[in-house]
Amino acid sequence: MKIQTNETRQHILDIGYELIVAKGFTSVGLSMLLKHAQVPKGSFYHYFKSKEQFGETLITDYFEKYMEWLNVLLSNKQLPANERLLTYLRHWIEFNQGICGAQRCLIVKLGSEVSDLSEPMRLALNKGANDIVSTIAQCIESGIQEGSIKVKNAQETAEILYQIWLGGSILYKLSKNVSGLQRTLQQTEQILQGKLIF
């Protein structure tokens, strides 16, 4: 019974994610979610006391999966750290062009929408962003130690790179032109080699 309970909860989260990345958080009402998930209202309230708690849980679930993927990618010791990081950022460009694009990134999608509406959701998004930055910083620090990355401060570089890439993703949503992200990748390569000082 517990397995089915966990599956139902995850099913609601998965359907909610698909709806929210397509329509936004405020546009997805409870009736829409229940209809698409094909679960009764009682099931929703069994797992989530409110739509806000559902949103917070959805964000946490998203980042747990994202961080699992990112940690595997950035800890691959078969590649030097700079190449591991650039591989991640090349994936970022591919995702923006495909079905997993900026539209599906909850920080890009929900950052400005819910940050003023829900403090718990803002905090969950902020924690997720900080976790990503910390993981990137660890990879940069590894690159500094091995000599494949030539910057002085891993944490500061990670923060700046993440801000640049988030901004690039938002502009991509507006322009639908990937050339901006390709230029961001070139600039990132220069930053990592110490050729572009910020």
50 secondary structure, DSSP code:
S
* Mean pLDDT for the stretch of residues 44-60: 96
pTM confidence score: 0.90
Task: Tell me where in the chain the CATH 1.10.10.60 domain(s) lie.
Answer: 1-47
- CATH class in words for 1-47: mainly alpha
Residue 41 has a pLDDT of 94
Which pair of structure tokens corresponds to residue 59?
A: 């964000």
Angle between helices 81-97 and 179-192 (to 10 degrees): 170
- pLDDT of 1 > 50? The answer is no
Tell me where in the chain the CATH 1.10.357.10 domain(s) lie: 52-192
* Separation CA 156–CA 85 (nearest Å): 15
CATH number of 52-192: 1.10.357.10
Instruction: Please compute the mean of the pLDDT values over residues 28-42 and round it to a whole number.
Output: 95
Q: What integer is the mean pLDDT of 135-155?
A: 97
Q: State the alpha helices, DSSP H only, in 48-153.
A: 51-74, 81-97, 106-114, 119-146
Under the banding of pLDDT at 50, 70 and 90, the label for residue 74 is very high
